[in-house]
Each structure stands twice: as C-alpha cells, then as structure tokens.
Amino acid sequence: MAQVEVTFQPDGKRTRVEEGSTLLEAVKLAGVDLTTICGGKGKCCKCKVVIEEQKGNVSPLSDIEKKLLTDDLISAGYRLACFTAVYGPVTVRIPDESRTGKQRLQVEGIDTPVILDPAVSKCFLKMPAPTMDDITSDVDRVLGALEAQHGLKNLKFTYSVLPTLPILLRESNWEVTAAVWNNERIITIEKGRTLDRNFGYAVDIGTTKLAGYLLDLNTGKVVAAESLMNPQIPFGEDVITRISHAGKGLKEQNELQQVIVASLNKILERLLDKTDVKPEEVYEMVAVGNTAMHHLFLNLCPTYMGLAPYPPVVKNGINVEAKDIGMKINPNGNVLALPVIAGFVGADSVSDVLATEIYKKDELTLTIDVGTNTEIIMGNKKWMVGCSCASGPAFEGAHISNGMRAATGAIEKVKIDPVTLDVTYKTIDNAKACGICGSAIVDIPAELLKAGAIGVSGMFNKALNTPRLRHGGDMWEFVIAWKDETASGKDIVVTQKDLGEIQLAKAAIYAGVAALLEEAKITNADIKKVLIAGAFGFYIDPASARTIGMYPEIPISKVSVVGNSAGTGARMALVSREARQTCEQISRDVKYIELAKNPRFQSVYMNAYFLPNAELSKWPETCELLKMLGRYPELPPPIM
Ligand code: FES
C-alpha cells in the first residue's frame, strides 16, 4: 500500500504511514506528544489536532467528530486524531491543550522506615589461582570462596554467568565480586571489588500511571524517581477492557505485556540517565499493581480473574529472572511481583497495607487508594477487610471536558467565594491554565456546593445571577477560568455532565467503604484514622473529598493523605526481605469482600451519587457547614 507523509507542527517531526492510517497511528510512529486518554475510541475528545495544510488529504469529518467538536473548533480546522484518516501528505498542528506536557511525577508517598536487608548481597572474593596441586574447577573455587569467606552454602550459579567465568576470573587476577540473590543464586560475577555498586528498581504499575524508583540497596535510599502514563490505556481505560483485550488470544496478551515492559524499561532508562548507574548494576526489581496489571506484566492469562468468582492465576509473590520477561536490569537479576489478595484487590493493596502499617495498629484504619480502580482496605492488627471499586478515570482528568493530567498549567486547587462566586485557582508551575487535574476535580463540586451553585443532586442552580453560570450550547456549565487566563484562549469550564462523572466516581468509592463497614458491622465512629492514598493523593484536599462524600463523615483531624503508598511498599519490599514476608502474610490476612454479593450495594451507591449523600443525616457536620453558608440542603428521599 502507498505510504504518505505526515508532518507535525510545531515539533517539525515527520513520519510516513500507510495510506488510510489514522493520524493517531502517525502520532505514535512519530513519537509526538498528544493526549489520548480513551485510546482512540472517540470518547475523550483529548486528541484534538488542527489540519494546517493539504486539508483535502484527510477523511471527511466523521459523525463522532461532529458530535464531540464544537462548531467553532470545526471551523478552525480541528479534528480528532483517532478519527481522521490520511490519504496524502498532510501537515498537522498539535495545539497546546492537546499536549500531555511536563507531567508532575506523582511518585511522592510516605516514608516508612524498614530494617535494611535486601535480597541481593555483594561478596568480595579473593581466591588462589589453580596449580598442579589444586585443580579445583572454577565454579567450585568460587563456591568454596563464598562459603569460606562469607558463610554462604549451597549456592547455585545462573547458567549464563558460566560461559565467560574462566576468562573473567583470570583477567581479574582471582579477585572478584559476586552478586548473590537471596542466599540462593549467583546473579553475576564482576571484576575486582564492586561492593558499593548495588542497585534495585521498584515500580508501581497503576491502571493509568506508572511510577518507578531507583534505589541504592546499600543504603535503602531512593536515587531517582520517574513516572509515565500506562501505555496500555489505548487498549482500554479500565482493567475490564484490558482483560477482555488480552482474552482475545495470546497475541493480544503478549502485546499488553510487551507495551508495559517497554514503558517500565523506558522509566528505568530515564532513571539511569539521571545517575551514573548501569543497567547491569541493577540486580533486582520489585513490582506492585492491581491484580490485572500484575497478571498482564507477568504475561499471565487474566481472563478468569475477570470472570466470577474472579480467581487470580497466582496469589503468592512470584520471582522470575529479568531476561524471562524482558526487563532490562541485569538480565540475571530477579524480578519479584508481590503477592495479591484476590482477583480485584492486588499487590498494590498489599503494598498500601505494608506502607501504612495498618496491620500493626490497634486503631481501626481505613485506607482508600484512589485511582481508576480504587482499592479500599480497612482494619487493624486483629482483622482486615478489603474491596475494590471501579471508580473510573474522572479523577485522572478523563471524561471531564477540560480535564487533564497533572502537568504544567493544570488547575490543581480551586476556591469559590460563597458570596461573589469569584473563582481563585492555582495551576501547576503557575503557568497559564490549560485544564483541570484530579485534586481540583475533587475541589470543584465541593466549592460549588458550598457556594450554592449546585444542590445536593449536583444540578446547577440556574437561578444564580453570575456570568460564570451559563448554557454552553449543549448543557449548563460553570466557568472556572476565563479565556484571557488560559493557554488555549478558551474558557475552562466544568459542565453538568462533568459533575455527573465526578459524582459517579466518588459514589463508587463511598459505596465500597460502606460495604466494608457493613461487613465489619461497625459505624463511622469506630474508624479512628482515614488514609487517602494514590498517585495524586498527595494533592487532594481531604476536606473537599469529605464535603463531596467520597468517604464517610469522619472528623478531618483523623484524615491524612499518604500519596503513593503502593510505591512506598514496593520500595520497602525491595530493600527488606522481612517486608516481603510481611506482604505474604498480609495477602493471606486481608479478607476480600465481593461488592457484587452485597444486596444493598446498589442503593448505597445511588444514595452516594448525591452531594455529599442522600442520607444527609449521616453528614451532620457538612449540613451544618452548608447551613452556616446559607445553603439549606434539600433532603432527597434516601433509597433504602
Ligand atoms: S477521542 Fe481520540 S483519543 Fe480519545
């Protein structure tokens, strides 16, 4: 088939694609920065591009584009990259608002101390050379030295160390350093004394984001951290869609594994670029993620964990050699995927529990790891229960008309004056506003509610006299930033539909929490601590989250944000073998609660759609606050 050239401006990047390919395919080939949250399904409307030259060489406007793009955008030449096919050379501009921009790393999390005891130890060996009286084999000489000089017995060599071992021993004059994994296996033998070079890689594989940390295993300290978007998003935003894609066949399952491994390798490459560490000096990797991400990373068939009764392929932690799954740390290095709890409560939850230490506490603690898939664990040292809920990607900026990821220019904090309805906001890096990211997506409904701009149903109060509230053509919307304040020169708004998306997301989380309370037969008053975790959890205002009813009304003094605690747990397991044992115990101890089995789940979920909740009697402080502000929440009849 004929090839056509696509040029991207302002980058000036060019690529050639087969005639009939979409612009999104060209974007991927050219490696151009473009937001594609829904992965080309025509749902997110984030992949907007402008056809600048040779406009006749692209497919006519599709029905989906006509629906998603406004008339103004269409007349300005805007198209959706995923729905525009190219039939001849074309020049395309990527507007600022469609760029992912410099992402905030979102790798921060609590620091929980742990006793340093990594699985990889390095041992310096000094050996005599063979003589006519000592013809011990090279392997036995090394094994003997490890036993005599370091007390390590019954070790095994990784086969691929053997081919070059004789040369290496002689070139190094019989002075070498062995890297040993778990007192079991020799990963590598290096020339001379390299004891100070011992590194590990910890990763948190989120449904939407990946976070990676390079650690010095001699000190347990983080040397560098990086993050990237999960490259599986084009295959589906949520875990169910990805499980069903992988279920089409081995080719698709491999494809999902390969893209995730490629991105984890890319993060590693960036970490190594920031430091003087070489890939072969990274001897171990620890990975956490929800069970679907865990299975897809390990290339385990996820089909049956996605079908009732949702059994995972494996529950215990798994150790594999890096070369077996394509990770570009030392090829003989170990990759440990931490244990999972159940089909929908994964190694990230185990990691959350490890990092927050709720398994040690007397006080009853509720941990909510907010993400596209939200995991909730509640308990203390006597018992723990956990569940997971599909909260969707609204808090990641998807399905929100002006939503974006936490990158430069994203509005991250919003305040609305309850009297004047004036909006003040803060953007990341104090740049011109480009869109709204997760923390502000939580603030906005809370602030609108307190300002009386919306009622408990989330519907706009159309009687308000402010230019910020208007009918935007399709639906009512509220202006957060006026066009002269924004990078695109267009108003940034929150629409009635956006509010509905946020309400659905927070309702799913609340209903999950309520199901755990019911299972444990306890009330809000029994909860002594709430920990809000998640990649963007560091930036959430707990008061806003409580006002919208994301979690039960618990005194704010008992609520803390802990950031990416799954990443913290992965780092702890990387540097401590005891922490790994604890993870295995946590995986056995947390009782998984299947929400679908709870007959009240639907009604609780529907009540939780309201702001803060249809059962207002359970929200006395919020009602009091609203009354103080002159708002008298209408009481919708709760669904029982
Ligand atoms: S609409 Fe094109 S990537 Fe979402």
pLDDT tens string 109-130: 788 999 999 999 999 999 999 9
Ligand 1 centroid vs 428 CA: distance in angstroms? Answer: 24
Q: What is the pLDDT of residue 73?
A: 87
In DSSP terms, which residues pair with 221 in a beta bridge?
216
Compute φ and ψ for 544, nearest 5 degrees.
Answer: -60, -45
Ligand 1 centroid vs 100 CA: distance in angstroms? Answer: 13
Q: What's this model's pTM, rounded to 2 decimal places?
A: 0.83
Q: What is the pLDDT of residue 9?
A: 76
Q: What is the pLDDT of residue 411?
A: 93
Q: What is the SS3 assignment for 497-555?
A: HHHHHHHHHHHHHHHHHHHHHHHHCCCHHHCCEEEEECCCCCCCCHHHHHHCCCCCCCC
Ligand 1 site-directed mutation target among 80, 233, 235, 241, most atoms within 8 Å of CB: 80
Average pLDDT over residues 285-309: 95
* Residue nearest (by alpha carbon) to ligand 1 atom 1: 42
Alpha-carbon dihedral sign for residues 43, 48, 52, 53: negative
Ligand 1 atom with the shortest distance to the CA of 44: 4
Between these two residues, 75 and 358, which has the higher pLDDT value?
358
CA distance 585 to 350: 9
To which residue do tokens 């997506």 refer?
A: 441
The residue type at 617: S
Average pLDDT over residues 291-318: 95
**Pairing verdict, β 282-289 and 199-205:** parallel
Tokens matching residue 199: 């590194």
Q: Is the pLDDT of residue 313 over 60?
A: yes
Average pLDDT over residues 516-529: 94
Percent of the chain with pLDDT over 90: 73
Average pLDDT over residues 624-631: 88
Ligand 1 atom with the shortest distance to the CA of 36: 3
Instruction: Give the pLDDT band of residue 12 (cuts 50, 70, 90).
Output: low
Ligand 1 centroid vs 45 CA: distance in angstroms? Answer: 5
Ligand 1 site-directed mutation target among 22, 33, 38, most atoms within 8 Å of CB: 38
CA distance 429 to 112: 29
Max alpha carbon distance in the chain (Å)? 100
Run of H or E residues at 48 = strand 48-53
Contacts of 72 (CB under 8 A, 6+ apart): none
What are the CA-CA distances from residue 91 to residues 232, 275, 321, 471 (Å)?
28, 38, 45, 35
Question: Over the stretch 541-568, which tens digit does the pLDDT of each residue have?
Answer: 999 999 999 999 999 999 999 989 999 9
Q: What is the pLDDT of residue 48?
A: 92
In angstroms and rounded to an integer, the radius of gyration of the C-alpha atoms of the chain is: 27
Ligand 1 atom with the shortest distance to the CA of 35: 3
Instruction: Give the pLDDT band of residue 538 (cuts 50, 70, 90).
Output: confident
In DSSP terms, which residues pair with 425 in a beta bridge?
414
Ligand 1 centroid vs 38 CA: distance in angstroms? Answer: 5
Burial of 377 (0-12, 13-18, 19+ CB in 10 A): buried
Report DSSP state, residue 43: S
Side-chain half-sphere exposure of 468, counting CA atoms within 13 A: 22
Q: What is the pLDDT of residue 640?
A: 63
Ligand 1 centroid vs 401 CA: distance in angstroms? Answer: 12
Q: What is the pLDDT of residue 103?
A: 62
What is the pLDDT of the chain when averaged over all its residues? 92
Q: What is the pLDDT of residue 474?
A: 84
CA distance 67 to 464: 29
The residue type at 2: A
Q: What is the pLDDT of residue 100?
A: 67
CA distance 249 to 150: 48
Q: Is the pLDDT of residue 105 over 60?
A: no
Ligand 1 centroid vs 59 CA: distance in angstroms? Answer: 16
Taking CB atoms and a 6 Å cutoff, what residues make up the pocket around ligand 1? 36-38, 40, 42-47, 80-82
To which residue do tokens 């040029």 refer?
A: 7
Ligand 1 atom with the shortest distance to the CA of 83: 2
Percent of the chain with pLDDT over 70: 96
What are the CA-CA distances from residue 338 to residues 289, 320, 386 (Å)?
9, 12, 17
Query: Do 189 and 141 contact (CB within 8 A), yes or no?
Result: no
Compute the CA torsion angle 424, 429, 433, 438 (nearest 10 deg). -80
Ligand 1 atom with the shortest distance to the CA of 47: 2
Ligand 1 centroid vs 34 CA: distance in angstroms? Answer: 10
Question: Over the stretch 209-259, which tens digit does the pLDDT of each residue have?
Answer: 899 999 999 999 999 999 888 888 778 878 888 999 999 999 999 999 999
- Give the sheet arrangement for strand 78-80, strand by strand: 13-18, 3-9, 90-93, 48-53, 78-80
